[in-house]
Amino acid sequence: MSQQQSLFSFYSRG
């Protein structure tokens, strides 16, 4: 199974 990543794991909240 693969798990969906969130964009927050890659980009900072700005």
Partner 1 sequence: MLELRLVQGSLLKKVLDAIKDLVTDANFDCSESGFSLQAMDSSHVALVALLLRSDGFEHYRCDRNLSMGMNLTNMSKMLKCAGNDDIITIKADDGGDSVTFMFESPSQDKVSDFEMKLMDIDSEHLGIPETEYHAIVKMPSAEFARICRDLSTIGDTVVISVSKDGVKFSTSGDIGSANVVCRQNNSVDNKDNETVIEMNEPVSLTFALRYLNSFTKATTLSNTVTLSMSKELPVVVEYKIAEIGHIRFYLAPKIED
Letters for 1-14 (x = contact with partner 1 by CB under 8 A, - = none) are xxxxxxxxxxxxxx
- The footprint of partner 1 on this chain (CB under 8 A) covers a number of residues equal to 14
Give the N- to C-terminal CA distance of the chain in Å, as an integer: 32
Burial annotation 1-14 (CB, 10 A radius, 16+ → b, else e): eeeeeeeeeeeeee
> Minimum CB separation from partner 1 for residue 12, in Å?
5
**In angstroms, what is the minimal distance from the CB of 8 to partner 1?**
6
Residue numbers of the site for partner 1 (CB under 8 A)? 1-14
